[in-house]
Structure 1
């Protein structure tokens, strides 16, 4: 909008310029009549006229410069200037206004301002414009302008009605200043969001000045720390510190913040009531325009419960939940360490396999509660009888493994006599006085074996010999026991011809989804019928196949037959189901295995989403980094992966969460005693909790009763399999019973 005083100045300068251009019509009157005097006065008068002309010329130049400056200021002002008629037509607009509206200035003139207002804001514009016309005072309004290209901007209008005199009438016009407030609005929304996040964040936020004096906290801070905002403002952040960390810790923290700009980690804190908690902190430094610290922002959350839960899960993964003794996985880690030292130092090591005699009678007659207490008491007695460097592990039930580094056969004999003597002392469990005796098998490194598996196998064989000898005693593994390995040789030789002689057969066991009782999959089980040996259990021949190197050929046959059968069922019009194939350790470690799987799927033309590969927990954790690579390669092709026998081994949760698997399979050893063992129920709950937190499905195997299935369903298990659901069947029978089996399952499980 043009300034009134500026226009008046322009008009004055124009009048002076016009005067300067007026011609002289007469000469001045002379006071003297002599020619010389007249000539002199004429010259003086000419000089005066020239001076006046020069002054007027400078004034005209100044006027033109002033006019140019005014026009520049008007056209390129940071806001748009519009002049509207009383009907809302645009009669004048500067370049900025035309730019805001996204249209050439000439195309704006004589068009109604309302045409550029969005439909949603037209009513507001009309009410506003009428109000401006009726009242001769400046008014404001915010609305949205629609540009010809479809974009829209938010603007603020400052309008004033002006009455212009002209002849006998006065013309009303409206001068409108248009300011783009889009960026300001965005900033306001952003600030509002920041304030909302600050107040409603679940994490505590504390803002300090450069001296670390608190200037702002949010509601979560009050909730977590117990300190009100009034109690916190003006205080130093050290009010949260505890004696848990030394002064060096805090110095390092703040040194890191000042050096790197931030620090994050765990820090112990004290609440207002004095209780301590563990917090996860992120401390950031804020710099001013001079690159000097102006503020510090501390964001933290209370992770006490998370730490406790994590410790509990880690304990479940490493230790037996009943006795607190190391479980099988931790035992394996420790014995591998002890064996490495024994090999390096060429020293002996003793492994004992210990089983309590007739312990089942205690559970059956007195109940599992008494049995559990007896196991706890027995574990404590064992712990007190050995050295700190020794390891005692409970495998499950009443089976224990004891490892004694730097102990030869003579030392083992002394130890076992001590253990047998301890067992004669009675236990007082509730109102019962109980005596429980052990049968112990002993294997000594390196004579009886140089690795964990061999030593365990030898000690197990020796323990059974001790039981056969009448229990409450011990046996060393001897060369006579090697006689049992003769069958191993027979089985190994027979295996070499089993494939070519078509002695293998696949069985399929149904897997059911608990949420809707639908058949969703089948686990593939390998069966071997030999003409002379008869039915050979997979638990007997699979380890032999692995040791002899035949498992790769057998495993490929199983995979191909399973994939081929699944494709055949789909081609026959049966509802597609997932085929679960177990992998051996040797198969999984074969670097060509992922390519083999994809080759089989391509050749048999089965989509990869119908294949699931089951990997045992022990195999996955044997070399977790390599396992992650292989699992990811398989998953990248759309193949599902599951961890079998979960809970029986040791799974580092830090690696388990990196295994991008789909499913955890709960081992049947936990399922079979759901009703009688609180320990097993606790383990199953823990496994389901781990799976849920990692976003994994769960399937329980070995379900043989409605009670077990009901418990698993209530606890959130996704799928089940077992004799209660259906027995393993050959492919033909499985196919024949397919539809009937689905109907039967729906009836039994609902």
Structure 2
């Protein structure tokens, strides 16, 4: 393919018409068609030298075709372009596979834009790469909006300072850096004295002014690598990093002196009201006063209490003292099963053995199984099983905590047993977030991991999305476990409580889509497919894995896999089983996968919908389209409609609508 062939201003060149095109579709017509599309298009030879670009490419980048022909499109890259993304592109092109991703590129005028880039190799009859075709789409607005939302989720809207989530991220980075450099990090909890009196005497707008001004003053007094945050109320958090271990106390005192000087300066509010501000602060040093964010906050909080009691004009902050005795740990004689004999609700007595049944989580693309979800059951003396909704409501909060802790230990114990039999498996356990409100909660999990010898990366905690996840102590305990390597899953995301804030405030690895999303799959198929696709896309955009629950038949499997979900679980694969049966199940069962074969109307509808909506993947030729065999075995007339779609995929809207209607009726059982 030459540059002149694709130039719409060059007379047509006589050459064979590609298979599948009508004789009147000339290369000139194809070139002119490319000039009308809104997405930038670039074609290179096998050596990645540019031979064609369309007008939209010029509109997006500012580069004319005559300026770039013969060059490698590396000219779009710049100093802020991700080296990792560049390497991913190189790896895909070298392997002859499709690359799709978002990359920061540079226009001709030096400005940056976010480019949603798809690069597809073209092959000759012998399977050799002849060209690469790239499609460029400027997605700067959507990326910046996502960044704006992420910033809003991690920053206080009043002061613009990091909020609790932002504080967690900053402290995590500071501690990691300190581990690498051997430096000391000081964490200060700063609290305004008598702030309530300002609100009472001058009104809440005046109180807001004080918080905004105070945050700005403290920020101006800090060094370049230090941070101030406002997690809430009248409390500020200081993170003073890179302190010399031999001079940390004195270096912090110098920073505190500058902060104090800014705080005591007279503050005049709107309307000429002048207020005097005094503060107290407790300070903990990493690693002497704590080894993680949870223990540092606890130490600083104790010191703050002491400082408030003294409330001195000069010694306004207090350094932490050694922590009290260590919290209780998991009992070392804990076994895989624990006896329960609790008197819960007044008229209900639960007696039996707690055990964790296991349900496989399946890779929907390969059929492999490396993880199981642990589901609590109580086996009664008569051999019957009680489900969680039959016994959990009968327990007090204290008893519930014990149930969950023993359940986690039980699950980890089985992971260790499976490993002894040669199977490296992981386990996920459902836990309510408030379980981690206790200051010793993270240590209990750590003790269970150490006792069973299980690597932290093989434990996932599934936080129920129908619960609040905003307790400070809970956040700190979870943060500590994530730093250790424990995975975090957001459970039941489609059950009605999900918000963007929830998804962004904790470092999740996986989001799980509740099984009830399939409740109306036959009566409102397109609505369900659209919602499922949107949640799956949300997970992909955030870099999360996506697991679909409730896969109980082939059609749900096909819908989930076609829409891009990574994992699934449900009765189609296996019902929850006793943990002692897991190894035999893995060694004897072949798990169904979709691959390239679609056999159900719902699966076909999901595939057709995703292609019509433009999911970014190429439309396969008719002979490789998974719907060809499906329609051929279903109805001759509808098969012909499908053929028309392939003859004119961009322009045959009528055929697309006919296919959608037929598939919806078929899915609803009216054919």
Report the TM-score when normalising by structure 2. Answer: 0.43
Report which of the two structures shows the higher radius of gyration computed on alpha carbons. Answer: 1
Greater helix share, structure number? 1
- Which structure is richer in relative contact order (CA contacts within 8 A, separation 6 or more)? 2
